[in-house]
């Protein structure tokens, strides 16, 4: 009997020890709409933390009022209220709880963007237990520090470099890689120029990775993406109370990049007032945070980029000439994709492999005609446009072998234009005939791709259904797909609907 009396007491004491242990643990809130992820994280983290879960942003915001967590693991994509909306509301409520964004591979950019609203870091799914635990602990240790600005930190730079390498064996690419290797060790300011979508940030990352600063931060800022009223604070930071909304001290990009590299994309968008402060930093390696009377000295290499003509902006008095000379110590001009079409097959293979996991590990290949059409297309959006085209084809192409007819309509339009030009210059048709043939072929392709549903075909062509019907009547194109060749008869006089 004595033993039986002691047993409940022993169990009660064990329970009290467990309760005290749990009470001393940091509280981690897991917010994810997938039950499997919530359950897995609860099991993985319960040895080190007290874990509470919520299935969406609304649920999380309700629970926070009752049982405030020490840190939140917040999924990006959720119904009702997604991660970004939840983060914004936390900020509006003045709740300074550290947040780590949980993200799939295709939402990494969104997670990084979320850092503008106060998120401390992000982590890709699936999780490594040790990495997740370590990140939670380090974030909790830093939770009283002011949040850093939304940046591509050193770690993000490494991930991007691994995911989007500089690919190609063409002569322009070989010259570019030689230039990068040559300037990487010089520790001087570099200006990267070239059309939009040519990979300017990738070049900056490669320069950083090959330099003596490789183990220090790589921080990136798109100057065009930040409002003019905030850009000075983003670059140089501010003190608490420096202006109305400065409720806490903020570390700027220059200080964040100390010892490493700061990449300033679209530098031509900076205002003249900020250009003056940028010039001072490049001359003195020091700056004044907004609201601070004493300077901050840092050791940062600046790499700038632009797709604008800075010398033209100087003539228009929109860009300082002295700043131009400071950032243009070394100039690297990136070739557009149309000047290195030989690299397209390699780029296609790379993007297919990169996006395949997001589409059930689907693999596609391109037949010779499709490759030929893609080589002939100008790619005004350069690598970024090609990347988007590949992802679209993985999602929509009806076959594993991509044929020319599966390609985006604007790529096909270039093929049709070339075909018409060939016939014109060889004397096969005059301009009006070529225009008529081109228009007819485009409409037929759109109709075939949409199974002759005219509303969808019109959307594909970017015209109204009424205009499509008018053109079909004018060109003698059947509504059912019969007799698809261009009519040799004159179009009816009253073709309009």
* pLDDT above 70: percentage of residues in the chain: 78
136 domain-assigned: yes
Number of domains composing the chain: 4
Q: Are residues 320 and 177 in the same domain?
A: yes
Q: What is the CATH number of the domain that holds 261?
A: 3.40.50.300
Six token digits for residue 452: 């002759």
Region 20-41 average pLDDT: 79
At 160, is the pLDDT very low, low, confident or very high (cuts 50, 70, 90)?
very low
Q: Which residue range(s) make up the domain with 289?
A: 155-333
- Pick from 93, 112, 145: which residue ends a domain? 145
CA torsion angle for 390, 396, 397, 399 (degrees, to 10)? 130
Is the pTM higher than 0.75? The answer reads no
C-beta of residue 260 within 8 angstroms of C-beta of residue 154: yes
Are residues 181 and 92 part of one domain? no
How do beta strands 330-333 and 50-54 pair? unpaired
316 and 346 part of one domain: no
Q: Give the contacts of 80 (CB within 8 A, at least 6 positions apart).
A: 56, 57, 58
Answer yes or no: is 14 within a domain. no
pLDDT at residue number 487:
35
Last residue of one domain, picked from the residues 113, 145, 177: 145
Among residues 108, 64, 57, 63, which one has the least CA distance to residue 87?
Answer: 57
H helical segments located in 450-483: 454-461, 465-475
Peptide linkage before 308 cis (omega within 30 of 0): no
Q: Are residues 304 and 177 in the same domain?
A: yes
Residues 192 and 305 in one domain: yes
Residues 396 and 412 reside in one and the same domain? no
Q: Tokens at residue 447, please?
A: 């109709």
Mean pLDDT score of the chain = 79
- In this predicted structure, the answer to whether residue 14 has a pLDDT above a threshold of 80 is no
Phi, psi torsion values for 489, nearest 5 degrees: -85, 160
Query: Region 414-439: what's the mean pLDDT?
Result: 58
CATH code of the domain in which 134 resides: 3.40.50.2300
Pairing of strands 296-297, 286-287: antiparallel
Residues 378 and 479 in one domain: no
CA 188 to chain centre: 28
Same domain, 374 and 430: no
CATH number assigned to the domain comprising residue 353: 1.10.8.60
With respect to residue 5, please indicate whether it lies within any of the assigned structural domains: no
Q: Are residues 119 and 94 part of one domain?
A: yes
Of 81, 114, 145, the one marking the end of a domain is: 145
In a shared domain, residues 84 and 211? no
Question: Looking at residue 46, what is its pLDDT?
Answer: 85
């Amino acid at each position: 009997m004595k033993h039986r009396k002691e047993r409940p007491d022993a169990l009660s004491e064990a329970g009290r020890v467990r309760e005290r242990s749990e009470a001393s643990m940091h509280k981690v809130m897991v917010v994810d709409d997938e039950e499997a992820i919530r359950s897995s994280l609860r099991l993985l983290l319960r040895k080190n933390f007290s874990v509470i879960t919520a299935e969406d942003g609304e649920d999380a915001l309700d629970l926070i009022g009752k049982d405030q967590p020490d840190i939140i693991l917040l999924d990006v994509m959720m119904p009702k209220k997604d991660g970004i909306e939840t983060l914004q509301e936390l900020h509006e409520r003045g709740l300074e709880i550290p947040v780590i964004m949980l993200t799939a591979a295709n939402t990494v950019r969104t997670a990084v963007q979320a850092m503008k609203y106060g998120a401390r870091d992000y982590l890709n799914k699936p999780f490594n237990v040790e990495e997740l635990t370590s990140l939670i602990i380090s974030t909790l240790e830093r939770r009283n520090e002011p949040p850093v600005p939304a940046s591509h930190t050193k770690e993000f730079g490494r991930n991007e470099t691994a995911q989007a390498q500089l690919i190609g064996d063409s002569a322009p690419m070989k010259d570019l890689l030689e230039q990068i290797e040559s300037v990487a060790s010089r520790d001087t300011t570099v200006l990267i120029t070239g059309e939009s979508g040519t990979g300017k940030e990738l070049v900056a990352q490669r320069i950083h990775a090959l330099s003596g600063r490789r183990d220090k931060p790589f921080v990136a800022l798109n100057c065009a993406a930040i409002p003019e009223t905030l850009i000075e604070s983003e670059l140089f930071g501010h003190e608490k109370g420096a202006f109305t909304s400065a409720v806490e001290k903020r570390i700027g990009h220059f200080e964040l990049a100390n010892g490493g590299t700061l990449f300033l994309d679209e530098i031509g968008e900076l205002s003249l007032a900020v250009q003056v402060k940028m010039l001072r930093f490049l001359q003195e390696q020091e700056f004044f945070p907004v609201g601070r009377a004493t300077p901050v000295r840092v050791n940062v290499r600046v790499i700038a980029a632009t797709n604008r003509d800075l010398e033209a902006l100087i003539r228009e008095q929109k860009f300082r000439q002295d700043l131009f000379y400071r950032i243009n110590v070394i100039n690297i001009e990136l070739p557009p994709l149309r000047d290195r079409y030989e690299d397209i097959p390699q780029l296609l293979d790379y993007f297919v492999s990169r996006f395949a996991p997001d589409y059930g590990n689907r693999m596609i290949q391109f037949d010779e005609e499709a490759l030929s059409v893609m080589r002939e297309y100008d790619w005004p959006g350069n690598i970024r446009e090609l990347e988007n085209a590949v992802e679209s084809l993985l999602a929509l192409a009806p076959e594993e072998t991509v044929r020319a007819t599966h390609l985006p309509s604007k790529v096909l339009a270039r093929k049709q234009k070339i075909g018409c030009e060939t016939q014109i210059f060889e004397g096969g048709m005059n301009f009006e005939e070529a225009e008529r043939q081109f228009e007819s072929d485009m409409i037929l392709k759109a109709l075939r791709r949409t199974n002759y549903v005219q509303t969808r075909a019109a959307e594909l062509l970017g015209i109204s259904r009424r205009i499509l019907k008018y053109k079909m009547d004018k060109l003698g194109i059947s509504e059912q797909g019969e007799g698809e060749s261009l009519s040799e008869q004159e179009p009816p006089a009253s073709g309009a609907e």
